[in-house]
Amino acid sequence: MVAKKIQQIFAKVPEVKYGYTDISYSSFSEEYRSALVFAVPHEEQLSIESYTEEKFEKCTLNARKEIEVILQDIETLLKEERIKYYIPPVGQQNEKDLLAVFSFKYAAVNAGLGWIGKNDVLITEEYGPRVSLSTVLLDYPFETGRKITESRCGSCNRCVDICPHKALKGLNWDINALRNNLIDYHLCNQKRSAYIEKHGRKNACGLCMVVCPFGMRETI
Ligand code: SF4
Ligand code: SF4
């Protein structure tokens, strides 16, 4: 059984969270029936005390490397099983509307991996926002997870308060919320892009993530 074989792949990396969602909400549903979505925790679970931009960038890059290894195993299996699949690209298609072709984090909440925080990223109970996501669209009817429809941020406002540009609006997410309700994404992107000339890449600002109490030993 395919689900069992995918389970065996993830048994080799027990720290990785994964689940399935149906994608009837997506335009990809004409070609694919479900999505496998997984969250790889960062090698160092940074707090505001241990944070540097360089460390955060390194954590993200290394998580992406781990994602590539897992994806290779999954692709090999899907080819053996002759299951049609598509791995959507990471990140936004362009710098204008800043939208991805397929939202990993929306798939993740639908698969029950977590909710969207006031910082507009996926929050998991285990690691908070200190994860990187990946998704595989599949033409196969996997048993799907129970979607999370409401925020568990409560009255916490740490990410909103720490943003140096006041890009976060402080609203609690629910499944019907739009990105614009939570964040001025263009402002965040503009401020991070200002570093391209100097550093050859956008600033990997992770301030609104490392401040999150979820995933740290303390609780809110
Ligand atoms: S990534 Fe940085 S600039 Fe963007 S919302 Fe978070 S703290 Fe603000
Ligand atoms: S810092 Fe607080 S408000 Fe922001 S995502 Fe984490 S729990 Fe939610």
pLDDT in tens, 80-134: 999 999 999 887 665 666 677 899 999 999 999 999 999 999 999 999 999 999 9
Contacts of 32 (CB under 8 A, 6+ apart): 23, 84, 85, 86, 137, 138, 139
The identity of residue 201, as a single letter, is: R
Q: What pLDDT is stored for residue 93 in this prediction?
A: 60
Q: What pLDDT is stored for residue 201 in this prediction?
A: 83
User: Are the beta carbons of 192 and 186 closer than 8 angstroms?
Assistant: no
- Ligand 1 centre to CA of 184 (Å) is 10
Which residue's C-alpha comes closest to atom 4 of ligand 2?
159
Judged against a pLDDT cut of 50, whether residue 220 lies above it is answered with no
- DSSP letter for each residue of 81-140: TT--EE-PPSS-S-TTT---SS-HHHHHHHTTS-EE-TTSSEEBTTTBT-EEEEEEEESS
User: Are the beta carbons of 140 and 204 closer than 8 angstroms?
Assistant: no
Which residue's C-alpha comes closest to atom 2 of ligand 1?
205
Mean pLDDT score, 151-169: 97
Q: What pLDDT is stored for residue 62 in this prediction?
A: 97
pTM across the whole model:
0.93
Ligand with smallest separation from the Cα of 173: 2
Q: What pLDDT is stored for residue 219 in this prediction?
A: 43
Q: Which atom of ligand 1 is nearest to the CA of 188?
A: 4
